[in-house]
Amino acid sequence: MHAREVSSPEPGHRLPYRPIHEAAPGASAGATPSRPSPAASATLITDSYQEGPRKVVVVWGEVDYETAPALSAVLHEALRASAEGVDVDLSGVAFWDCSGLNALLRLRREALAHGKTVTVRSPSRMVRRVLTLTGTSPLFLPPRPCRRAAEGRSVTPPSRP
């Protein structure tokens, strides 16, 4: 397994798109805790395994502008190690923003350049929402074989009368 702990921002700054946590009772609003709380840091955990000619990458945690480079590195390594492409299991992703989407789109571009594909397996609710809102979900569906080609028939369209 690969894991990356991302540090929290400097005092006075906060990560974008994250809720601001209220100060604990009795603490002043301007006080900075000496240790960052678990909610203030993002964790990304990945694992990968071979499944036939494809590589499967399983992702847990949060994918944002701080963790996306680590995710990209893991995905590109999986693509290089695969014969046909990469399947990405995003069911364990709790936070997903455009940085994660951009990592997938860059991976897809590289995969297509090498005659491979990238599919998304069981996206979490957060991932599904981003893919749907951006209209990119069809780009990560598994390719369907042509029905006629699978049956051994000609794939040419019928002629016009």
Three-state SS string over 80-125 comes to HCCCCEEEEEEEEEEEECHHHHHHHHHHHHHHHHCCCEEEEECCCH
Distance CA 161, CA 157 (A): 12
pLDDT of residue 14: 45
* pTM of structure: 0.65
Q: Which two tokens stand for residue 74?
A: 């893991």
Closest listed residue to residue 97, CA positions, set 139, 71, 68: 68
Mean pLDDT of the chain: 77
Distance CA 92, CA 106 (A): 21
pLDDT of residue 143: 77
pLDDT digits (tens, 9 = 90+) for 76-134: 999 999 999 999 999 999 999 999 999 999 999 999 999 999 999 999 999 999 999 99
Q: How confident is the model at residue 147 (pLDDT cuts 50, 70, 90)?
A: low
Domains and CATH numbers, the chain: 44-139 (3.30.750.24)
pLDDT digits (tens, 9 = 90+) for 20-37: 333 334 444 444 333 333
